[in-house]
Amino acid sequence: MKNEGQTGSRIRERRIDLGLRQGDLALKVGISPAYLNLIEHNKRRIGGKLLVSLAATLAVEPIALTQGGAAAVVAGLKNAASNAPQIDVEEANVDQFLSRFPGWAALIEQQSDQLTEMERRVALMSDRLAHDPVLSESLHEVLTAVTSIRSTASILAQTPDIDRDWQRRFQTNVFEDSARLADTAQSLVSYFETMATENHEGAGTGATVEAFFAKNNYHFPELENDTEPQNLQTQEDFPSGAGAEIVQKRLKDYKADATDMPLAKVQNAIASHGFNPAAIAQYLQQPLGRVLVRLSNLPNSESYPDVGLIRCDLSGSIILRKPIEGFALPLTGAACPLWPMYQALAQPGLPLAQIVETPSGAKFQCYAVAEVAPTPLFNAPLVVTSTMIMMKIDDDFAEATPIGPTCQICPRSDCRARRYSTSV
């Protein structure tokens, strides 16, 4: 990336922000002040151990020194371009555009993110309107009541000499049907208001639950020790109502995983076998799907990568998620059928390892497995869950499967798995 030549300037800016003298920083990383001065004026290239040492001393990630905040903005601009394939965008000049017009670049990135979020909400609402059984039943009741009232009113209007007893019966029917219609209409209004509120808040309860786990970085040191899940209910941001039940269930699962796969043992497995889920599962003697979840709940560390997670049931409905930057995960509804998680559903028990590429060009190493819940009952229906973790990789030459977020907002118009011919 062209802006890597400004590494020294970023080191100098960060040092000044922290109030460190040049000589003090040089002493801490084991180099001379004169050499550090050359680095800070971009007259010496650095990398390897010195870069890592400087980043650690300045309390930043190495990428923040080599690429600064520009990397995220460039990725956002490329994502915006991928969402408008009909426009011929000069992607080769994105660095030049960013350096000349940083404000406009940030605005475009922000608007692209907002547009993607709005499209996701529209897709969610459209899918809900099309497949919501509660809404379908309510509309059916409205049509039934309207048809009945119209039929009865027609009889009363077209039969002037109708018997009084029958007239009274028909009038009673109209009254009862109109009352039922009013009740159903009121229920529909309330239901639409609830849908609007949920959509505004990010699918209501689900968003509240996800916010709780995100605030804790999906890791709970208390549960790694002797604390029980119910003791976390005293936290200020602990959800209430239906959200509390969902959180408690997930925390109980977390506690069970932490008990059967202690953090120290998991870290030893990673040290011995690398970040290889299959080898780690064999070392821990635990089901692979459970190990994948455990790997996504580890504390932040330089010893292993950032891990995203998603799990679905046999219907494809998402039941567990941990977002990772660059890989869009829907809160509810359908995702991309080309994700390895869905491919694994077709072959329960057979793990998949696959590299995928998002529309923005980001690549992720994915591991997925579908597992059948055991049951002692004969002829019982299968209960299957598919679990997938994903980790970002930087390999321009790695062969990858093109994927998207969800069909209604995916820019890949030529995808053979696409459910809709055009984006929303």
- List the 401-402 sheet strands across, edge first: 318-322, 308-313, 384-393, 363-372, 352-357, 401-402
Comparing C-alpha atoms, which of 384, 395, 423, 383 is closest to residue 407? 423
Angle at 50 between CA 45 and CA 51, to 5 degrees: 70
pLDDT (0 to 100) of residue 1 = 43
The pLDDT score that the predictor gives to residue 88 is: 85
Identify residue 80 by its one-letter amino acid code: A
391 near 307, Cβ under 8 Å?
yes
For each of the chain's 424 residues, which pLDDT tens digit applies?
A: 444 557 888 888 888 888 899 999 999 998 988 889 888 888 888 877 888 889 889 887 776 677 665 666 777 788 888 878 888 888 777 777 876 787 888 899 888 888 887 887 777 677 666 656 556 667 777 888 899 999 999 998 988 888 889 989 999 999 998 988 888 788 777 767 666 655 544 445 666 788 889 888 999 999 999 889 988 888 877 887 778 888 999 999 999 999 999 999 999 999 999 999 999 999 999 999 999 999 999 998 887 899 999 999 998 888 899 999 888 887 666 689 999 999 999 999 999 999 999 987 889 999 999 999 998 899 999 899 999 999 999 887 889 999 988 776 677 878 888 876 544 3
**401 pairs with which residues across the strands?**
356
For 274, the token pair is: 């690398």
Reported residue count of the chain is 424
> Helix, strand, coil proportions of the chain in percent (round to 5)?
55, 10, 35
- C-alpha dihedral, 374 to 378 to 382 to 388, nearest 10°: 20
Q: 53: closest CA among 23, 25, 14?
A: 25
Please give the full DSSP string across 302-354, using - where no structure is assigned.
TTS---EEEEEETT--EEEEE-BTTB---SSS---TTSHHHHHHTSTT--EEE
Q: Are 89 and 390 in contact (CB under 8 A)?
A: no
Q: 365, 318 in Cβ contact below 8 A? A: no
Element (H, E) at 55: helix 48-57
Judged by DSSP in three states, 367 sits in strand
Count Cβ atoms within 10 A of the Cβ of residue 209 and give its class: 0-12 exposed, 13-18 middle, 19 or more buried.
buried
**Residue among 240, 251, 409 nearest 330 (CA):** 409
Structure-block tokens of residue 146: 């309207």
Among candidates 68, 75, 3, 123, which has minimal Cα distance to 325? 75
Q: Which two tokens stand for residue 399?
A: 């062969």
Can you tell me the distance from the alpha carbon of 80 to that of 70, in angstroms, rounded to the nearest whole number? 15
Q: Which two tokens stand for residue 277?
A: 């889920």
pLDDT of residue 132: 61
The whole-number pLDDT of residue 344 equals 96
How many whole angstroms separate alpha carbon 202 and alpha carbon 241?
A: 17
Let me know: does 293 contact 311? Beta carbons within 8 Å.
yes
CB of 341 closer than 8 Å to CB of 368? yes
